[in-house]
C-alpha cells in the first residue's frame, strides 16, 4: 500500500475529490498554507493499494492544472530594521506536488 500526499490548488480540489471518490478512492482533505506564497492550498491524503497507485496518479495529473500567480513578495524572515518594499512576483504554481510513501501498516479499528 502507498500513501499519496498531494498538495493541490484550492481551485482544483472539488473536481479532484469528486473524481477520486467516484473511482472508489478514500481521501482525507486538509486545509494547508504554502510557505512561499503564504496562501491557502489543500493537502490530500490518499491511501491506495499498490495496483491502484497509478490510476490515482492519473486522476491527479488529469485534473490539477498549473497556473501563473502574481503574488506580493513574501516579507523577509528574521525581521529587518530598514523599510521593506513589497514587490509583485510571478510564480508558476502546481499542477500538484505529490509525495509518495510506502505504508508499513494500515489498521482500521
**Using CA atoms, how far apart are residues 52 and 96, in angstroms rounded to an integer?**
18
Do residues 64 and 12 touch, judged by C-beta distance below 8 A? yes
Please select the residue that binds ligand 2BA; options are 16, 41, 44, 56, rule is CB under 6 A.
41
Q: Which residue is nearest to ligand 2BA (CB)?
A: 34
Please select the residue that binds ligand 2BA; options are 6, 7, 56, 63, rule is CB under 6 A.
7
Do residues 25 and 18 touch, judged by C-beta distance below 8 A? no
The pattern of x and - marking residues 74 through 93 that bind ligand 2BA according to CB under 6 A reads -----------------xxx
Amino acid at each position: 500500500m502507498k500513501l499519496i500526499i498531494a498538495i493541490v490548488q484550492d481551485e482544483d480540489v472539488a473536481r479532484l475529490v469528486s473524481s477520486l471518490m467516484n473511482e472508489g478512492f478514500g481521501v482525507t482533505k486538509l486545509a494547508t498554507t504554502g510557505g512561499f506564497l503564504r496562501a491557502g492550498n489543500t493537502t490530500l491524503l490518499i491511501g491506495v493499494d499498490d495496483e491502484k497507485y497509478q490510476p490515482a496518479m492519473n486522476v491527479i495529473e488529469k485534473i490539477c492544472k498549473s497556473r501563473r500567480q502574481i503574488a506580493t513578495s513574501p516579507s523577509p524572515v528574521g525581521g529587518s530594521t530598514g523599510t521593506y518594499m513589497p514587490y509583485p512576483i510571478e510564480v508558476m504554481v502546481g499542477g500538484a506536488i505529490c509525495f509518495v510513501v510506502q505504508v508499513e501498516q494500515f489498521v482500521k479499528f
